[in-house]
A = this chain, B = another copy of it.
Amino acid sequence: MPLCVVGSVALDSVETPTETRENVLGGSAVFFSYAASFFTTVRLAGVVGDDWPPQYNYLLQARGIDTAGLQVVAGGKTFRWRGRYLKNMNDRETLDLQLNVLSDFDPVLPEPYYRSKFLFLANGSTVHQLKALDQCTGASLVVADTMDHYIRTEPEGLKTLFKRLDGLVLNDSEAKLLTGDDNLVRAGHAVRKMGPRFVVIKKGEHGAMFFSQHETYVLPAYPTAEVVDPTGAGDSFAGGMMGYLAEQDNFEPKTLKEALAYGILIASFTVEDFSLDRLRTIQREDIEHRMEEYKKMLSF
């Protein structure tokens, strides 16, 4: 089933304690799309400037990702983010942020996108998220992400958005910020009561938690000794999760749990190299192989 994603498309510059990469392919919708492309066809909506390298489009299209919804603003510059990871590879600081064309983004989607059964509203302003949602009248499952910036600056927009969501994905610090509760079990259910039928809290190296009215569970991250660049881990988690749901064409509790595991595994590949570099080297069978190891790890 087609999966539509609306979100940021970026040129990232990433500094780690050992290496730096300049202007590599990034952005929430890009990591999401690529991760989901292992499972289903993806329709990407976003905006770039005319500095956007055409080969990045080819790279996405070669994965079956429809870029018809990627607006190109003539004379505009693509959204740029520069960040530095601290030695622990978990904490990072944003060194520079240039919204550029993203600041005037008007998410007008191509007409075929309207009928996407699965819709993901990646990190972004609730104004963009709600406008995209209004167009996707054919969506049966609507899931969104958000972040600290919008929790702080757009509480009303989030309130409206949450009531229209099937699912919300956010990270642990964001769940605490949103609810004022440091206990993630309570925080997860408190977020759920704001509207979404289910909530997923991403805990980075500690895995992810799932909350619905009848279920509370946590799955650990896949333990990896190779953490080269965590950028995009959360977005590719969501891409793996939503991609698997779209492939299975249902969102029953059983499928949601499998989807959470696929999200965790895709993210475990993403962090093993910069940008999409690790995901570009793997096939579906590599994911399935890691899934076997993961299931074995959780059995006793």
- The residues of A with any CB-CB pair to B shorter than 8 Å are 87-90, 182-186, 189, 203, 205-207, 209, 216-221, 223-225, 227, 254, 257-258, 261, 295, 297-300
Which residues from chain B contact A217 at a C-beta distance below 8 Å?
A: 223, 297
A223 & B209 in contact (Cβ 8 Å cutoff):
yes
Report the nearest B residue to A257, measured CB to CB: B300
CB-nearest residue of chain B relative to A176?
Answer: B88
Q: Which of B182, B216, B299 contacts A88 (CB 8 A)?
A: B182
Chain B residues positioned under 8 Å from A186 (CB to CB): 225
Knowing A185-B224, A225-B186, say if A258 contacts B203 (CB, 8 Å).
Answer: no
Q: Which residue of B lies closest to A188 (CB)?
A: B223
CA–CA, A300 and B216, complex, Å:
14
A76 and B286 CA atoms in complex are apart in Å by 63
Cα–Cα, bound, A216→B184 (Å) = 26
9 further A-B pairs in the complex, CB-CB below 8 A; given A218-B223, A299-B299: A88-B182, A185-B225, A186-B225, A206-B207, A216-B223, A219-B298, A220-B220, A257-B300, A258-B300
Assembly CA distance A184 to B223 (angstroms): 8
Most chain B CB within 10 A, of A205, A299, A300, is at A300
- Contact residues in B for A207 (Cβ distance below 8 Å): 206, 220
Contact present for A227 and B183 (CB under 8 Å): yes
Q: Is the CB of A221 within 8 A of B223?
A: no
User: In the complex the two chains form, is B218's CB within 8 Å of A221's CB?
Assistant: yes
Q: List 20 A-B contacts (CB under 8 A).
A: A88-B182, A89-B183, A90-B182, A183-B225, A184-B205, A185-B223, A186-B225, A189-B225, A206-B206, A206-B220, A207-B220, A217-B223, A217-B297, A218-B220, A220-B220, A254-B300, A258-B300, A298-B298, A298-B299, A299-B299
